[in-house]
């Protein structure tokens, strides 16, 4: 048991490390599997559970007094230890658990990411949108917006097969989505299809449509090369006049659907991954994987002011 603020010493900072916050026993297994798929042959899964303590109670007192929340925390992490033996991972992957007591789940997990020098965050989402000032939820939004490492959000669906569809566009997060889809393909020994949508109109000739599709094929081949895909994969270029409607139709046939963030900035308050990825994450019956690449430095709420201050006063 550790308190937020305690000094944590990580023995080996050179290994690839995936942090997986867990809370819901029903989705714990799929999150651990995703972490294992990302690591591949070696690395470390760090499974974290955070118990929130109200301001009027000191963190140390909450541990001394004990609570139902602490008992539940132990049960969740014990289950993670048991599930690790069921996950088909190479012997080079280790798993470690951290039981954290803190004021806020999001802040506590962000601290763990910094302490672990994490390469990746894997977190679950129930597919429901927040009705307050948040998009995916008050715990999840800050994690995605402020994490410096790669972020993978998993919305567990009802599919249990091994077909993977990956939506690929021109955005900077597309190679990360392709890479994630390829990691799932390797882990499940599954079938991967890279999908690109192209806008057309009814007045186009068949020759013009063919040219549009060929452009999409070239994009998919380039993205696969950038992501380092070595396994066999299929290419699907789909066309239409309504992007959202058409892609929701296309992805219905897959067990896993990967899509990268299309949001241009983490400062967009009305979306986290982009309207279309979030719509697919909410409505698609498959297991949906939303992917965002790392950032060199988290954005602040006032990037222009921050840049101006640095110019005037230096770093």
pLDDT at 178 over 60: yes
The whole-model pTM stands at: 0.83
Q: Where are the domains of the chain?
A: 13-155, 158-294
Most distant CA atoms of the chain, gap in Å? 74
**Which phi-psi region, left, alpha or beta, contains residue 190 (left: φ > 0; alpha: ψ -120 to 50)?**
beta
54-81 pLDDT, tens digit per residue, is 665 555 655 555 566 677 778 878 888 8
Q: Which two tokens stand for residue 118?
A: 């994490």
Instruction: Report d(CA 168, CA 181) in Å as an integer.
Output: 11
CATH topology for the 158-294 domain: Rossmann fold (3.40.50)
pLDDT of residue 20: 94
Would you say 55 and 169 are in contact if contact means Cβ atoms under 8 Å apart? no
Report whether pLDDT(100) > 90: no
CATH of domain 13-155: 3.40.50.620
Question: Above 50 in pLDDT, residue 306?
Answer: no
For residue 258, what are its two tokens? 């990967």
Question: What is the mean predicted confidence (pLDDT) over 185-201?
Answer: 95
- Tell me if 262 sits within 8 A of 176, measured CB to CB: no
Structure tokens at 33: 């599997």
Alpha-carbon distance 133 to 81, whole Å?
36
In this prediction, residue 102 has a pLDDT band, given cuts at 50, 70 and 90, of confident
- What span, in angstroms and rounded, lies between the C-alpha atoms of 210 and 11? 56
**pLDDT for 218 beyond 90:** yes
């Amino acid at each position: 048991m550790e308190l937020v603020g305690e000094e944590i010493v990580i023995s080996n900072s050179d290994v690839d490390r995936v942090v997986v916050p867990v809370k819901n026993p029903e989705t714990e297994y799929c999150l651990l599997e995703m972490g294992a798929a990302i690591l591949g042959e070696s690395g470390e899964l760090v499974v974290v559970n955070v118990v929130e303590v109200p301001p009027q109670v000191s963190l140390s007192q909450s541990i001394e007094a004990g609570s139902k929340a602490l008992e539940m925390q132990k049960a969740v992490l014990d289950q993670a230890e048991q599930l690790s033996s069921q996950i088909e991972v190479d012997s080079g992957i280790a798993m470690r658990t951290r039981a954290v007591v803190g004021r806020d789940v999001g802040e506590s997990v962000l601290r763990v990411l910094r302490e672990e020098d994490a390469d990746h965050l894997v977190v679950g989402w129930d597919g429901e949108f927040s009705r307050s000032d948040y998009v995916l939820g008050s715990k999840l939004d800050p994690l995605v917006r402020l994490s410096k490492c790669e972020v993978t959000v998993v919305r567990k669906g009802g599919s249990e097969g091994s077909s993977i569809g990956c939506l690929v566009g021109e955005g900077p997060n597309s190679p990360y989505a392709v890479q994630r889809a390829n990691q799932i393909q390797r882990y499940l020994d599954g079938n991967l299809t890279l999908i690109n949508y192209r806008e057309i109109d009814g007045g186009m000739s068949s020759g013009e449509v063919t040219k549009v599709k060929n452009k999409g094929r070239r994009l998919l081949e380039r993205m696969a090369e950038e992501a380092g895909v070595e396994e066999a994969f299929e290419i699907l270029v789909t066309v239409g006049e309504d992007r959202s409607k058409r892609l929701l139709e296309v992805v219905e046939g897959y067990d896993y659907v990967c899509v990268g963030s299309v949001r241009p900035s983490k400062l967009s308050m009305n979306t986290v991954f982009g309207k279309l990825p979030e719509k697919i994450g909410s409505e698609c019956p498959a297991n949906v994987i939303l992917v965002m690449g790392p950032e060199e430095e988290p954005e602040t709420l006032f990037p222009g002011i921050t840049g101006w201050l640095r110019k005037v006063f230096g770093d």
